[in-house]
């Protein structure tokens, strides 16, 4: 029998997900479809009888808004929510704001796949000339982090995401799970992939083939050492989930932006 249940969730579709642009640390709200995805996710979790004691989110609006909508749909709005920059999406550096399909045309699909899914390749760093540099680094939310603003990342590989996420996981999330709390982590495609890699011991090579669609809860059943007792379960209609995974993967295929 499983000791603990943990649910990881990539937020509902954001406005830049829809436009196929690398969103990363730019703060975008959910699209209309993204709101619906989050509400559907909450309804599904309610139907499954899921009762959360604690929710963790990043400090990006799309993950926070998703957590609110999920809790509202579950009639569990009272559940405490804790936010940390350490659950933020991977910092995509100079790629932020660019269209994936156009990048694939310019640099090739393989290169875009390496940037998006490899474990230890860091994309080109963002610098002050980047159109979104000031929007990110002048944002007041980054004065609340547990590291000085100058030490925040300028781009990250998945490995670097895991390196900044793990201290928070061990110091803050793990003790709550071990106290018996059922936890929802409402975060991002790559912060959830990093955590899955850690929990499931996915190899550096195999993690390249793990893709998470928006708004689909990933349920993990863990033993007392927080090791998975069975394979992760993506909850919902499996044919729709497979189609949604393919859609995310196909975002990196070469075509002109429309």
Can you give the binding site for ligand DG2, defined by CB under 6 A? 10, 14, 17, 22-24, 89, 92, 116, 188-190, 248
Respond yes or no: is residue 170 known to be catalytic. no
φ/ψ region of 183 (left if φ > 0, alpha if ψ in -120 to 50, else beta) reads: beta
Least spacing, CB of residue 93 vs ligand DG2, in Å:
11
Q: Which of 13, 89, 156, 188 is catalytic?
A: 89
HSE toward the beta carbon, residue 231, CA cutoff 13 A: 4
- Work out how close the CB of 23 gets to ligand DG2 at its nearest, in angstroms, rounded to a whole number: 4
Nearest to 234, CA basis, from 35, 45, 47? 45
Asked whether 65 and 11 are in contact (CB, 8 A), the reply is: yes
In the complex with ligand DG2, which residue's Cβ is closer, 24 or 84? Answer: 24
What is the smallest separation between the CB atom of 10 and ligand DG2, expressed in angstroms?
5
Nearer to ligand DG2, 11 or 44 (CB): 11
Q: Are 188 and 58 in contact (CB under 8 A)?
A: yes
Cα dihedral 61/156/108/95 (nearest 10): 50
Smallest gap from residue 227 Cβ to ligand DG2 (A): 25
- Compute the C-alpha angle 206/218/25, nearest 5°: 75
Which region, left, alpha or beta, applies to residue 91 given φ > 0 means left and ψ of -120 to 50 means alpha? beta
Q: How long is the chain?
A: 258
d(C-alpha 76, C-alpha 81), whole Å: 11
Shortest Å, Cβ 96 to ligand DG2: 8
Decide if 19 is catalytic.
no
**Residues acting as catalytic residues:** 11, 89
């Amino acid at each position: 029998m499983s000791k603990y249940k943990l649910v990881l969730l990539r937020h509902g579709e954001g406005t830049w997900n829809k436009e196929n642009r690398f969103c990363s640390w730019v703060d975008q709200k959910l699209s209309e479809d993204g709101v619906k995805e989050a509400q559907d996710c909450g309804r599904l979790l309610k139907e499954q009888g899921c009762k959360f004691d604690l929710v963790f989110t990043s400090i990006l609006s799309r993950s926070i808004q998703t957590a609110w909508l999920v809790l509202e749909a579950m009639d569990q709005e009272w559940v405490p929510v804790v936010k940390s920059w350490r659950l933020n999406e991977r910092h995509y550096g100079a790629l932020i704001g660019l269209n994936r399909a156009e990048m694939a045309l310019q640099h090739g699909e393989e290169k875009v796949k390496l940037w998006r899914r490899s474990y230890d390749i860091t994309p080109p760093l963002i610098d002050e000339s980047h159109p979104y540099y000031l929007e990110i680094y002048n944002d007041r939310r980054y004065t609340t982090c547990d590291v000085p603003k100058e030490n925040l990342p300028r781009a990250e590989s998945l490995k670097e995401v895991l390196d900044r996420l793990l201290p928070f996981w061990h110091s803050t999330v793990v003790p709550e799970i071990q106290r018996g709390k059922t936890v929802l982590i409402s975060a991002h495609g790559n912060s959830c992939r990093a955590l899955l890699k850690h929990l499931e011991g996915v190899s550096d090579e195999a993690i390249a083939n793990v893709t998470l669609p928006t708004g689909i809860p990933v349920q993990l059943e863990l033993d007392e050492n927080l090791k998975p007792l069975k394979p992760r379960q993506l909850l919902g209609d499996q044919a729709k989930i497979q189609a949604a995974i393919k859609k995310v993967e196909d975002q990196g295929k070469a075509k002109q932006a429309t």
